[in-house]
Structure formats: C-alpha cells, structure tokens
C-alpha cells in the first residue's frame, strides 16, 4: 500500500462517523466554491445535532406555481460563492434566506437570488446559517454570529474571489432581512471569540437590501420599533421593500425606515399595496415582483454598480 493511501485511510478513520451520516439535504449545483463558516463546531452548538432535512410537504403552498425547499436542522453553516459567468463589477452581496429562524427558503430566497445577482455582474455569497431557534438576536446570537463570520470571510477572500472589499453588501428576506438589519447595526464587536484573521476584519456591510422584513416592529407592543435595533449614522445605506397587505406587517419596513431617517442614514423605502409575503423574486402579475430591477437602479444610484 502506498504512503499516500495510508495517510488517506488514517484521515478517514479520524473523521467521526456522524460526518458521513449527515449528508446535507441541500447542496449548491456543481462548480461553486463552498466554505464551512467555522473550523469545527460553531460557537455554542452541540457536538451532535439532528440531520439536515428538507421539511417541505405536498401540502405546502407553491410560490408562482412552483415548489420550494424549506431547509431545516442546519447545524453546519456554510458560505457558497456564486460568481458571474460574464462581466464582474467587483460588487458582492451576502444573501440571507428567510424562514422565521426555523427553516431556510434556500432556493426561493437563496440560489435563485444568486442567479439574478450574477446576471447583474454581482458576486453572490449565499449563507446557509444555523436554524432553528437561532434568532432573532438577542433571543439567540447564533444566526448573527454566522452573519458576522460570513462578512469577515468575504473580506478575507476578496482578492481571491475578485471582490472589491469596499462594496460588499447584504440582502435578506423576512427573518433573513432581520438578520441583515441586525448585522447592519451590530457589527462593532464580534459575538464570539475570534477564530482567525477573518475575524480581525470589519463585518460592517457597505449597503443593505431589506425585503419584507420581520422582527423590526413588535406586534405584541402595538408595532413599536424593536429596541434592539438601533441604527446610527454609521449604519449602511439601505433599500427596504414590503407590501401593505403583508401578514408579517408593513410596519416592520416603515418603522425601520423612520429609524434610519432619524439617524441620517441614506435609505429608500418602497411600499406596494399588494404582494403578501414570501414571494422571493419569482415574477407574478403583481407589480411588487419587479423589485429586482428597482434594486439594480438603487445600486447604481449609490455607486455600487456603474451607471448604464
């Protein structure tokens, strides 16, 4: 037996059997670089956890006539790089799918979003963060830890991935939108002990896109602003979109916009009469689903993308 083969066998023996048993329920299409967010077990995570699973059932509603993946039991968070096949503008967006901090709509609000961003010349960095019961912060810090770590890794790998480290934004949906806001307002101090050089880099986003957010206004307190979300003049420029008929309540968008305005943060708010919640960027007959083009125009306005 060759020496290389002996080394390989020894390495395989050293890997816990759980590593083989818990094959991820979702993986990106071939050809994408995927990094584990943490070297080993994530902060505060149990050594063993239930296997990752697609929780979707035949009874779950379709979005624009199509099913979606509802990914549950995510205990091994990852960062996947989607690079444009054509022109690369150097801008990058870290994407947080939604799912109420219970599951991740990993295709509807993740991989499909990366396809759009790539078409605009933007590098997409898709975060598969821990769920369930990992937010909202400060109820749990786990998802926000993953978000902070993801931004640091994005800046550490910026030269390798052809990213401008000063044009890295975040985009989130629903609970993922809350996570993007939490990161936009809680970036000065890591919520975990530093791991490596990535944690010495800033995890402040350069801009934020917030799509049908939750947890920014408190339902149980008459839709008052969430006191744990406190923007300052250093909070990044922000684009916010929501429908008035959203069952999660449009006040989440409105209250956060007013908080940004009061902090003198450049912000743009778009409220549509109809649209509901959880549509991602799948086109329907409703005008709200044209929002990706509006975001592209906004990114040109704030000079993240070149003017056309």
Domain extents for the chain? Answer: 66-301
What pLDDT does residue 122 have?
A: 98
Tell me the helices (H) and strands (E) count for the chain, helix number first: 8, 12
DSSP class per residue in 169-218: EEEEETHHHHHHHHHHHS-SS-SS---SGGGGS----S-EEEES--SSEE
pLDDT band of residue 22 (cuts 50, 70, 90) is: low
Q: Say if residue 168 is exposed, middle or buried (CB neighbours under 10 Å; 0-12, 13-18, 19+).
A: buried
Interval 51-87: pLDDT, tens: 999 999 999 999 999 999 999 999 999 999 999 999 9
Residue 52 structure tokens: 């990752």
Nearest 5 degrees, angle CA 163-CA 165-CA 167?
85
Q: What is the largest CA-CA distance in the chain?
A: 71
Helical packing angle, 175-185 and 142-156, nearest 10°: 70
pLDDT band of residue 6 (cuts 50, 70, 90) is: very low
Interval 219-250: pLDDT, tens: 888 899 999 999 999 999 999 999 999 999 99
Q: How far is CA 261 from CA 61, 238, 273, in A?
A: 36, 10, 22
Interval 258-286: pLDDT, tens: 999 999 999 999 999 999 999 999 999 99
Q: Is the pLDDT of residue 11 over 70?
A: no
Q: Is the pLDDT of residue 150 over 70?
A: yes
Sheet containing 78-82, strands listed edge to edge, beginning at the edge strand earlier in sequence:
33-36, 78-82, 123-128, 92-96, 168-173, 208-211, 238-243, 267-272
**CATH 3.40.309.10 applies to domain 66-301:** no
Average pLDDT score, the chain: 92
Q: Is the pLDDT of residue 164 over 60?
A: yes
How far, in Å, CA of 25 to CA of 290, rounded?
31
- The single residue listed with the structure tokens 């975040």 is 170
Interval 166-217: pLDDT, tens: 999 999 999 999 999 999 999 999 999 999 999 999 999 999 999 999 999 9
Q: Say if residue 191 is exposed, middle or buried (CB neighbours under 10 Å; 0-12, 13-18, 19+).
A: middle
How far, in Å, CA of 270 to CA of 172, rounded?
15
How far, in Å, CA of 150 to CA of 200, rounded?
13
What pLDDT does residue 36 have?
A: 97
């Amino acid at each position: 037996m060759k020496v290389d083969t002996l080394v390989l066998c020894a390495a395989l023996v050293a890997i816990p059997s759980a590593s083989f048993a818990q094959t991820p329920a979702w993986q990106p299409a071939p050809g994408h670089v995927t990094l584990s967010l943490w070297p080993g077990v994530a902060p505060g995570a149990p050594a063993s956890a239930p296997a990752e699973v697609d929780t979707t059932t035949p009874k779950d509603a379709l979005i624009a006539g199509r099913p979606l993946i509802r990914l549950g039991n995510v205990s091994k968070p990852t960062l996947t790089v989607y690079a444009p096949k054509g022109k690369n503008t150097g801008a990058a967006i870290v994407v947080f799918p939604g799912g109420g901090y219970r599951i991740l709509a990993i295709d509807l609000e993740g991989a499909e979003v990366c396809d759009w961003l790539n078409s605009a010349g933007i590098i997409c960095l898709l975060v598969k963060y821990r769920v369930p019961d990992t937010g909202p912060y400060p109820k749990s810090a786990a998802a926000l830890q993953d978000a902070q770590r993801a931004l640091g890794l994005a800046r550490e790998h910026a030269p390798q991935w052809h990213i401008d480290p000063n044009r890295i934004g975040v985009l989130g949906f629903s609970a993922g939108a809350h996570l993007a806001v939490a990161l936009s307002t809680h970036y000065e101090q890591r919520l975990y002990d530093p791991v490596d050089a990535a944690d010495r880099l800033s995890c402040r986003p350069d801009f934020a896109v917030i799509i049908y957010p939750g947890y920014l206004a408190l339902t149980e307190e008459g839709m008052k602003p969430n006191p744990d979300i406190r923007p300052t003049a250093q909070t990044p420029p922000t684009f916010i979109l929501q429908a008035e008929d959203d069952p999660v309540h449009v006040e989440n968008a409105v209250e956060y916009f007013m908080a940004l305005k009061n902090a003198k943060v450049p912000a743009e708010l778009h409220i549509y009469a109809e649209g509901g919640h959880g549509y991602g960027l799948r086109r329907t007959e409703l005008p709200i689903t044209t929002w990706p083009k509006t975001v592209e125009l906004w990114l040109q306005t704030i000079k993240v993308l070149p003017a056309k």
